[in-house]
Chains A and B, each alone.
Chain A
Amino acid sequence: MSVIDIRRPDLMFPDVADKVHAPPIAEQSRDSSKTGDDKRSFVQLVRPHLGDAHSLARWITGDRSGAEEVVQEASSRAFRAIRTAAGARPRAWLLTIVRDCAYTWLQKHQGKPLTRSGFHGVEDKQSGRARACNPSDTTITASSEARHLEAAIFALPAPFRETLVLRDMLGLSYSEIAEVTDGPIGIVMSRLADARGRVIRTIGRKSS
């Protein structure tokens, strides 16, 4: 597999090395002036939020290179749909696509070892899915507080973790989170309360 075969839209996630050499999407457009508009829209609407997109992808996949694949795939989809689908809240729109891509990535990589995991976690090829670090084999450093917090968040079931990340890491409003996770605000509120409660109890146990 040397290039993306775009006749196979089901082939969502070829290896990242192939992605690097993927032909520019802009080439696929027939009308160059429209492509120029799309590029401007992309720069205005999508590019400012790539950092948030990458964070969300990492917290969902728990995998560093996987997160990059996810964001790249999501950016492609966003670019192709930018004329028709980008709404009044581009960040929420992009994160909706990122979330979708991230869960697809997780499904495809079920059971495979992850390359690297978390943010403050140690690199560990054997570690389980979405597990930041194994507390027993980490040396105590100034950032052990950070690793405990990270492990507690990664231990949350995915629907709770994503809600917490969207609110507490990325600062989305409840209504934006409802848009991204495709659910009612009441569910957002109860999941957020539950997720924060679990994390607070976990880090409380660690520090006592």
Chain B
Amino acid sequence: MTDALYRDKSILVHAYLDGELDSANTLAFEEQMSSDRELAAECERIKAYQDLVRKHFPRTEAPAGLRVRIDAQVGASRPTVQHSWRDSWRALAASIVVTAVLASGATSFILSPEPTDTARDAVVAAHIRSLMAPNPIDIASSDKHTVKPWFNGKIPDAPRVVDLAPASFPLVGGRLDVVAHTAVPTLVYRHAKHLISLTAVPAPGRSDSGAASQSTGGYNILNWTNDGITYWAVSDVQSSDLSTFARLFRVTPADR
């Protein structure tokens, strides 16, 4: 499988940067990149391009006038005379919309599954709430040997806690959040002046997947699954920084 995958590394470098590789392939790709200077340089060029795009073409609202016209078009409800042809027109309009697509079998096996919206909304809400609370954490400590035992006794399994301070993502502490009526551990890391919430949601039986990124309400979100646990990283740091954080968290052994 590896040979087939890396035959076209010039395509996979994009999937890697977009967080579309599963964790096994992400690690394998990073290993390959560490010994391939041209590949690493290509990776940097793409990142620089992405930064440029983010800077000059941020996502925007539709023009206000357009939004008003659209609202007016669907919003008003004055009664009016009905004609029989309207029904056929509506049926036709409905049939215009076609959304059907399947991934080609050749590539889909290395790609991540889609995240679930419910869990995403819960972890984002918990992150936002924590920023508004007097203290964003229940246990404040930069020492993983303090944070990890704190979870013991509160939830069945304490999360994997790694020390990322050398990479400028110091551990700040931990708290308990609730996702789908279950208490789950959240680790809080800091990067510059921003906090990153990393929530570990048990996902028994789910296969490993690479980091998938999305954003909502100004927050960047990454999620990936590893060893039956889906991790959600939420923060207002730049998505590239969040990707770096996720990558470091995944590759750093917990017992170091």
A contacts, CB < 8 Å to B? 6-7, 9, 19-20, 22-28, 30, 32, 35-36, 38-39, 42, 47, 50-55, 68, 71-72, 75-81, 84-85, 87, 89, 92-93, 96-97, 100, 119-120, 143, 145-146, 149-150, 167-171, 173-175, 178-179, 182-187, 189-190, 192-193, 196-197, 199-200, 203
A179 in contact with B49 (CB, 8 Å): no
Verify A24–B75 contact, CB threshold 8 A. yes
Give every chain B residue within 8 A of A173 (Cβ-Cβ): 20, 112, 114, 212, 214
Among B25-33, B97-105, B179-187, B191-199, the stretch in contact with A: B97-105
User: Residue A167 contacts which of B18, B52, B111 (CB distance < 8 angstroms)?
Assistant: B18
Query: Quick check: is B96 within 8 A (CB to CB) of the other chain?
Result: yes
Given contacts A9-B93, A81-B93, contact A27 B77 (CB under 8 A): yes
Asked if residues B15 and A174 are in contact (CB atoms below 8 Å), the reply is yes
Tell me, rounded to whole Å, the shortest Cβ–Cβ distance linking A18 to chain B.
12
- Find out whether the CB atom of A19 lies under 8 angstroms from the CB atom of B52: no
Give every chain A residue within 8 A of B167 (Cβ-Cβ): none
- B86→A169 contact, CB < 8 A: no
Name 24 interchain pairs, CB-CB below 8 A, sorted by A.
A6-B89, A7-B85, A9-B89, A28-B80, A35-B77, A36-B77, A39-B74, A42-B74, A53-B62, A71-B70, A72-B73, A75-B70, A84-B94, A93-B97, A120-B56, A149-B53, A149-B57, A169-B59, A170-B59, A182-B101, A186-B107, A193-B11, A197-B10, A200-B45
B69 neighbours in A (Cβ, 8 Å):
19-20, 72
Determine whether the beta carbon of A72 is less than 8 Å from that of B70: yes
Whether the Cβ atoms of A96 and B97 lie closer than 8 Å is yes
Residues of B within 8 A of A80 (CB): 90, 93-94
A185 contact from B13, B99, B104, Cβ within 8 A: B104
The answer on a CB contact under 8 Å between A190 and B11 is: yes
Task: Report whether A87 and B99 are in contact in the complex, using a CB–CB cutoff of 8 Å.
Answer: yes
Determine if B215 is an interface residue (Cβ-Cβ < 8 Å): yes
Query: Does B18 lie within 8 Å of A85, measured CB to CB?
Result: no
Complex CA–CA separation, A127 to B46 (angstroms): 30
Docked CA distance A145–B62 (Å): 24
State whether A171 touches B213 (Cβ < 8 A). yes
Q: Are A189 and B61 in contact (CB under 8 A)?
A: no
B256 interface hit (Cβ, 8 Å) = no
Q: How many A-B residue pairs have CB under 8 A?
A: 188
Check A174 against B49 for contact (C-beta < 8 Å). no
Q: How far apart sit A3 and B107, CA to CA, in the bound complex (Å)?
A: 48
- Taking CB atoms and an 8 Å cut-off, the chain B residues in 34-76 that contact chain A are 45-46, 49-50, 52-53, 56-57, 59-63, 65-67, 69-76
Contact B59 A55 (CB under 8 A): yes
A198 to chain B, nearest CB (A): 11
Please encode chain B, from 187 to 229, with 1 for each CB lying within 8 Å of some chain A CB and 0 for all others: 0000000000000000000000000111100000000000000
Contact A32 B77 (CB under 8 A): yes
- Bound state CA distance, A169 and B165, in angstroms? 32
Residues in B neighbouring A89, C-beta threshold 8 A: 114
B101: which of A47, A120, A179 is its contact (CB, 8 Å)?
A: A179
Tell whether, in the assembled complex, residue B99 and residue A85 are in contact, meaning their CB atoms are under 8 Å apart: yes
Flag if A150 contacts B56 (CB, 8 Å).
Answer: yes
Chain B: minimal CB distance from A55 (Å): 7
Q: 10 extra interchain contacts, Cβ-Cβ under 8 A, other than A24-B76, A76-B93, A97-B96?
A: A9-B89, A22-B73, A39-B75, A51-B59, A51-B61, A79-B73, A167-B18, A171-B215, A175-B111, A178-B101
